[in-house]
Chain A
Amino acid sequence: AQKITQTQPGMFVQEKEAVTLDCTYDTSDPSYGLFWYKQPSSGEMIFLIYQGSYDQQNATEGRYSLNFQKARKSANLVISASQLGDSAMYFCAMREGRGYSTLTFGKGTMLLVSP
Chain B
Amino acid sequence: NAGVTQTPKFQVLKTGQSMTLQCAQDMNHEYMSWYRQDPGMGLRLIHYSVGAGITDQGEVPNGYNVSRSTTEDFPLRLLSAAPSQTSVYFCASSYRTGADNEKLFFGSGTQLSVL
Contacts and interface: CB of A to CB of B under 8 A. Distances in A.
Contact of B43 (A33, A43, A105): A105
Interface of A: 4, 6, 9, 31-33, 35, 43-45, 47, 50, 52-54, 91, 93, 95, 98-108
Contact of A44 (B31, B42, B45, B106): B106
Contacts, number: 64
Interface of B: 31, 33, 35, 40-45, 48, 50, 58, 88, 90, 92, 94-96, 98, 100-106, 108-109
B96 A99 contact: yes
30 contacts: A4-B42, A6-B42, A35-B104, A43-B108, A43-B109, A44-B106, A44-B108, A44-B109, A45-B90, A45-B104, A45-B106, A47-B103, A47-B104, A54-B100, A91-B42, A91-B43, A93-B43, A99-B96, A100-B31, A100-B50, A100-B96, A101-B96, A101-B102, A102-B48, A103-B104, A105-B35, A105-B43, A105-B44, A107-B42, A108-B42
A62 to B, nearest CB: 16
A102 B45 contact: yes
Nearest to B109: A43
Q: Which of A32, A98, A100, A106 has the most CB of B within 10 A?
A: A100
